[in-house]
Structure formats: C-alpha cells, structure tokens
Amino acid sequence: MTSFESRAAYEVWRQVIADEELCAAMLAGNHRELAPSRGLDELQMAVLDAFHAEPGTRWNIENLRFRSAQETSSSVGSYMPLTVKLLTRGDDDWLQELCFEYLAHHRWSNLGHLRLRECERFAAYVRDRVAKRRVPPEHLEPVLQFELAVIRLLKRTSDIPGDAWPTGQVPADDALADSCPRRSPAVELVTLDVDIRDWIATADPLRGGVKPGPVTFLIVVPSLSEVHRTVAVGEGAREVLDRCDGQHTVAALSAELEEEFELPAADVGRLVCQWLRERILGL
C-alpha cells in the first residue's frame, strides 16, 4: 500500500471498530450493502474487502475490544472501587461485561491515558443508563458523589503551582497566633446524606455498614508524592476550615469562633496546628 492507502486503511479500521453494524457486515462479507448509508467510496470498499479476506480480522477486532474493556475496568476499579463493587458485587467478569457495554455505547472510543476523565464518563453512564435499566444498589448515589469528589480533586492537582503546596511546617507558639493559615488548594469537601465512612475505610461496600447522615468528608492530597486522605469533619471543624482564608490570624479567628460558636480558642489553635502538619492548611 502507498502511504495514502495506509492512512485510508487505518481510517476504515477505526470506522469498523466504532460501527458494530458495519463490522458485522464486513465479517459476513455483506459490507457493500452498507456503502450508500455510510458514504463509503470504492477505495474504502476495497479496504473492507481486504479486511474480510484476512483470516485474523475477527480475532484482531475481538482482542482489541476485550483489551479496551479490560483497560477501562482497571481504571474504574482503581479510582471508583466502591461504585464498581456495588454494581458488580465483586464479580470481575460482570465488570468486564459492564465496561464492554459502556465502550460499545461510546462507539469504542476509550479515552486512553485520560483515566480520570474516563471515570467521570463512566459515572455518567452508570447514572444515565445502568441505573435506569435496573434497580440500582442501595446508596449508589452517595458513593458516586464521594468518588467523583476524589476524582475532581485529583484532576485539580495538575494545575496547582509548586509553591502553592503547603509545607507541613508549624510556627512556634509565639508566632502561631499572628500567622494567617489558608486552606490548601488540594482539599475538597463533600457532604453526603448517609455516613459511608466504614466503606471508605475498607474500600469495600460489601463489608461494614452505612449509618444515618448527613456527614461531611474532607479529602486532601498532602503532596504529589502521596495518596489522598479522607476524614469526616463536624460543623465546628468545617467552620474553622472555611475561615482559614489567608486573611485572618489564628488569634482573630479563634476569638470569632469562640464568640459565635463557643469553640474554645485552645481547641481552635490545636486543630490549626494539626491541619498545618497534615498539609490541609498552609501559610
């Protein structure tokens, strides 16, 4: 083949992978019947003739689709373990089938190395199609909300400048009161209607139970070399976090919180120190 013909063959191959009706017709040798509806010219028909005549074409297509579904199942299993296990009850074959259907819906256009974006698209598929065709597992929606919050945070880390990451340093006592802590840019808060902290701790919704909510989870990526961490926070702790905006000193926000919410100033100071060490806050 010439380079032009090689390009043409590649484009026809992509079309065959995306168009399951055309693929089936090509394998059966009936692809010329679809030429008018697909706008295929004689060169493209000749390429399809060659694909049909090649003994390994069916295996190549099935292998590509199998491996694409396997790659997708690996991505969603890594970043959405609770969602996946709720949907499949831990059955890997079921997950492979689910990912196969998901990719078929998207005409076999997987997103490659954009794994977090793939997970977001998969979550939309679960909400818009899977949950509409069958009774969804109990608590699927709060699990999706939590795991999508983690994914949003992980995506955001790529845009955080190096000097914006907290250092984990805590000022000495005499300097702490005058410091102005700020919330790390690698922090996400998500409030759920139910308390799934047992599931989060084990990454397994088939173990542990769900408690009444609501509950707010703080998710933080301490640095680019560490995995994210999750902790449940109460109303008082959330108020502290909201007021650490880099404009208020620890002394000022401690006084405000003690007056408005009767939070002891010493407790506010201890929490700020803890969060500075854990890089939930920075200076």
Look at residue 31 and give its three-state secondary structure.
helix
Has residue 126 been placed in a domain? yes
Sign for the CA dihedral angle at 149, 155, 156, 162 comes to positive
* Claim to verify: residue 67 and residue 25 sit in the same structural domain: no
CA 22 from centroid of its chain's CA atoms: 33
Q: Region 178-188: what's the mean pLDDT?
A: 97
Sign for the CA dihedral angle at 98, 102, 105, 109 comes to negative
- Of 254, 224, 225, 221, nearest in space to 240 by CA: 254
Q: Is the pLDDT of residue 1 over 50?
A: no
Length of the chain: 283
Start-to-end CA distance of the chain, whole Å, equals 63
Q: Region 180-197: what's the mean pLDDT?
A: 97
* Claim to verify: residue 170 and residue 237 sit in the same structural domain: yes
The reply to whether the predicted model has a pTM over 0.85 is yes
Look at residue 213 in the predicted model and tell me its pLDDT: 85
CB contact set of 182 (below 8 Å; sequence gap of 6+): 244, 245, 246, 281, 282, 283
Domain residue limits at 16: 3-54
pLDDT category of residue 207 using cuts at 50, 70 and 90: confident
Bridge partner list, 281: 183
Q: Region 64-69: what's the mean pLDDT?
A: 96
Q: Region 224-249: what's the mean pLDDT?
A: 95
Among 77, 106, 137, give the residue marking a domain's end.
137
Has residue 250 been placed in a domain? yes
Has residue 149 been placed in a domain? no
Q: Is the pLDDT of residue 5 over 80?
A: no
Number of domains in the chain: 3
pLDDT category of residue 205 using cuts at 50, 70 and 90: very high
* Claim to verify: residue 86 and residue 42 sit in the same structural domain: no
Q: Region 100-111: what's the mean pLDDT?
A: 95
* Claim to verify: residue 173 and residue 250 sit in the same structural domain: yes
Q: Region 217-235: what's the mean pLDDT?
A: 96
Q: Region 89-98: what's the mean pLDDT?
A: 95
* Claim to verify: residue 16 and residue 64 sit in the same structural domain: no
Q: What is the pLDDT of residues 247-265, one digit of tens each?
A: 999 999 999 999 998 989 9
* Claim to verify: residue 183 and residue 267 sit in the same structural domain: yes
